[in-house]
Amino acid sequence: MAIISWLSSSIFLSLFTLFCLSISNASWGTEAARESCRPISSLINKDLFHTMFLHKDDAACPAKDFYAYNSFIQASKSFPGFGTTGSLTTRKREIAAFLAQISHETSGGWATAPDGPYAWGLCYKEEINPQSDYCDSTNKEWPCYPGKSYKGRGPIQLSWNFNYGPAGKALGFDGLKNPEIVANNSMIALKTALWFWMTEQKPKPSCHDVMVGRYIPTEADVAANRTAGFGVVTNIINGGLECGIPNDARVNDRIGYFKRYAQLLNVDTGSDLDCANQKSF
């Protein structure tokens, strides 16, 4: 099944590439269509990436030299919709939001850190001192493998067997028997973060759909005050622990990263940045 998933992704990528080639010089291609075909690297080059993550390769960071710019660009190519959907503003805002969320998950910053707390994203590649092995033994679809820990790993800090299993299936590795690969292979690590970002897990929408304006709140979402914006993305990722709490430090940290990256990309953040008044999914 992983092969089928990989083939489907490859076919989509090939068709997307052919489409972009066909409109590059065609009179019928709209500016919006041409914009969507410009690569991620046209919006975030290597210098900007290193400006965003000033300290990721410091000796103090356990993930030193793990999250390379080229790995990020190559990993994004496996998800053609990421950072290529919608207007230039939408594209930039999605990239800023994604980088903000993974920065919070891997942050090594503190209040008085050099260059500020939001210059320390991508400092960690796996959870330190996990409180459990994150095995949900009641999940029979993605059963835990004996002796394995499904602690947080990679940029999004992928956790639990019910996330490692489907991520591995989609990306072509055995997430249940070999979860450690997410902390040992930078390309796979970045792909797991993008997989989580792009994948709908009902009743949650995908983070991607929220940031590109495709999220249409259901009646339950409206009742829970889950309005479209960066706050809903935080709710998707860790709403059970962070949302519905006024002035939560973790939520504020995510917002702080988002504001910094949005400024560096010269785009506004939009509204509804926190989830203080939202119920979790």
Q: Which pTM does this prediction carry? A: 0.89
Segment 153-211, tens digit of pLDDT: 999 999 999 999 999 999 999 999 999 999 999 999 999 999 999 999 999 999 999 99
pLDDT of residue 30: 58
Segment 64-101, tens digit of pLDDT: 999 999 999 999 999 999 999 999 999 999 999 999 99
Asked if 170 and 205 sit in the same domain, the reply is no
Residue in 105, 126, 127, 242 annotated catalytic: 105
Segment 199-246, tens digit of pLDDT: 999 999 999 999 999 999 999 999 999 999 999 999 999 999 999 999
Provide the number of structural domains found in the chain: 3
Residue 2 belongs to some domain of the structure: yes
Residue 207 belongs to some domain of the structure: yes
Please, are residues 45 and 73 in contact by the beta-carbon 8 Å criterion? no
Active site residue 105: yes
Query: Which residue range forms the structural domain that includes residue 268?
Result: 38-124+200-281
